[in-house]
Structure 1
């Protein structure tokens, strides 16, 4: 069995001034750090999945490495890339010694995290965008914290186990073998009380009545089941910023949903609001 140090020996995550984390989310982060396992975070868009890694890095004073996953991303891309094109060009046009293959090896984001002299936070963002084999192809590397470079015969081992945060928008189901190796947390959409706290962090001088009316309109919108895309936290913050910059009063907001295009990003959703009681 692995020896697991008590959690009291770790720097604990409590959130930051700009990132309000629930107790359950804080606990999930700290458990993942203590166990040295990746934290898989799900939740609807706008709940702060990606920002969580930024917040952890800031709170713990660690460097953040971001690996943005695309539909074409392969697991090996995060380990290393052998630049055969550059080597070919050097052999044809350059005067460099091309026998040393190491100079043509470029470490990927995971490789960069492994060779760091200090522990880093590694964000693997939107893992479900890649193909189904992508998570399985990372199992060994995330378990053993090492990988082998075939071209040079070198094994890269992590100097310090990175704090790995993985986000998913549930576009694809992730393999069971991968899930077993992760700590999982679903970020629930903030309730009104927590959302009020989030808004006050970003806009500490906001007038009480304007905040109450803005939240009232916002949560009314989110209750409309037929909306294709419900407004998220980030859209609420953008909307409130526009309200403040435009000098909109809470009286006007009470009778009119101003600047709806900041909250809703779909033509059908905007059309549906015309004549709605939310307005």
Structure 2
């Protein structure tokens, strides 16, 4: 079996690489958690690129139901056609369209399916998918048709840990918590997006970034994506790396998005520098 090692656009830790390999080998969904900005959603895209598979994205909302990922029955269009005589309304299959998971089951090729932010849905959502994720098939009641997976898809499920998942659902998943990258791994990640960044600027930015994340009481610590944006701003401004740990961190609003956090950091940095 080919071992997942990330791509040129997505740097993975050895622990995450092993978790992906185990999930693929067992044919189990991989449930990925971690603080926002740790690359949970991008993981599915890069797994698809690595294994050269199509990617089906299912972005979960508070109103999403499990059946939405399997199929949709357009009863409104059928009613419209019955009123105006457009087409054969007796053929219900004309009004059935497969959802992301349904299309993955029906595909001749192995597909990567991203079920993104599953914790946004109601508590019953994960339980409503148990049979489908176990049996890799489902029935469309309106037609009686059975949609069975021709190739078992690689299922990646992300969660921001806003809700606890049911135990029955967790038993069917391989779980991985994405740890926030240390400085060495973060430097590799940043260089994917800024391959020609100066060493001195990168070192100064990382020092300031991790100092900022260590401030107690932050409601939303800065994430990887915000660090990448901050570096873009620093490079465009041509700022001196030596000024990054002063009393006033430049472009602080690129890193922090809560007014309370900006005030908190401002007070602490002034006290730290004595200015």
TM-score normalised over the length of structure 1: 0.94
2:24 is the alignment partner of 1:48: no
What is aligned with 2:257? 265
Q: In the TM superposition, what is the alpha-carbon distance from 1:199 to its structure 2 partner?
A: 1.2
Show structure 1 runs of 4+ deviating over 6 A: none
Work out whether residues 57 and 113 of structure 2, in 8 Å CA contact, stay in contact via their aligned partners in 1.
Answer: yes
CA distances 1:163-221 after superposition (whole Å, capped 9, x unpaired): 00000111110010100000000000001111111112221211111111111110011
What is the root-mean-square deviation in Å for CA atoms of aligned residues?
Answer: 1.2
Q: 3-state SS of the aligned residue for 1:138?
A: helix
Cα distance in 2 for partners of 1:38, 1:254 equals: 43
Work out whether residues 215 and 265 of structure 2, in 8 Å CA contact, stay in contact via their aligned partners in 1.
Answer: no
Which structure 2 segments of 5+ residues have no match?
Answer: none
Work out whether residues 113 and 153 of structure 2, in 8 Å CA contact, stay in contact via their aligned partners in 1.
Answer: yes
Residues 173-252 of structure 1 correspond to what in structure 2 (within 5 A)?
173-252=164-243
Cα distance in 1 for partners of 2:9, 2:239 equals: 25
| Structure 2 counterpart of 1:162, from 153, 165, 170 | 153
Cα distance in 1 for partners of 2:94, 2:113 equals: 25
Cα distance in 2 for partners of 1:54, 1:157 equals: 24
Cα distance in 1 for partners of 2:99, 2:200 equals: 50
Cα distance in 1 for partners of 2:86, 2:203 equals: 69
TM-score normalised over the length of structure 2: 0.95
Which structure 1 segments of 5+ residues have no match?
Answer: 1-9
Cα distance in 2 for partners of 1:71, 1:126 equals: 10
Aligned length: 270
